[in-house]
Amino acid sequence: MKQNSNGLIGSEEDIKNLAEKKGARLLVYSDSHGSVAIAEQIIKKFGKTCDALIFCGDGISDLAQILYKAKEDKKLSNSIPPVIAFVQGNGDCANYPLSEKTSLKVPRFQNLLVNHKKFLIVHGHLQGVEWGMEKLGMETKFTESQVVFYGHTHIAKEEIIDGEGTDG
């Protein structure tokens, strides 16, 4: 797997297919904070059936370790979805080495197209999500995104802003 200039990991074909695919299945997690084994279990259990993995920050080293381990572990490698989008959390660095020659460049935000819908992915600390959704809502409108994923709060929830959202 290689990181593209847009920050996504995956082939251009897989990224294009995800943008046009109807009914895509996404594996989303955040804030693993060093729990590599748990993140790996989640990916092994659910990743095979997913079209993309979205990581919302704070544990980029965990994701990098999993990607590095997947080079040797065929079961893990086969469980990783073909497209990976990830962002830098307040506890993450902007670059994470994968080998002596390559490093993972970790963006502060990421855009991803899924089923012709624009997704905004952030960690949430820069948007102050622990105090409210106003700034995140403004960024969502500014980027013309229909869906936003964020972490930081350690609370799983779905929130519909301005009456727009997804079912269930």
Mean pLDDT of the chain: 92
The reported pLDDT for the residue numbered 161 is 62
Question: What is the per-residue pLDDT across 53-74, written as a single tens digit (0 to 9) for each?
Answer: 999 999 999 999 999 999 999 9
Whether 166 shows a pLDDT value over 50: the answer reads no
75 Cβ contact list (under 8 Å, min separation 6):
44
**DSSP-derived pairing of the beta strands 95-97 and 103-105:** antiparallel
* pTM (2 d.p.): 0.91
C-beta of residue 1 within 8 angstroms of C-beta of residue 55: no
Edge-to-edge strand list for the sheet holding 83-86: 26-29, 52-55, 83-86
Q: Compute the distance between CA of residue 168 and CA of residue 158 in angstroms, rounded to an integer.
A: 9
CA-closest candidate to residue 52, choices 60, 43, 61 = 43
Residue recorded with tokens 């997690």: 29
Question: What is the per-residue pLDDT across 131-141, written as a single tens digit (0 to 9) for each?
Answer: 999 999 999 99
Whether 168 shows a pLDDT value over 50: the answer reads no
CA-closest candidate to residue 27, choices 10, 49, 8 = 49
Whether 167 shows a pLDDT value over 50: the answer reads no
**Better-scored residue on pLDDT, 84 or 160:** 84
Question: What is the per-residue pLDDT across 72-126, written as a single tens digit (0 to 9) for each?
Answer: 999 999 999 999 999 999 999 999 887 788 888 999 999 999 999 999 999 999 9
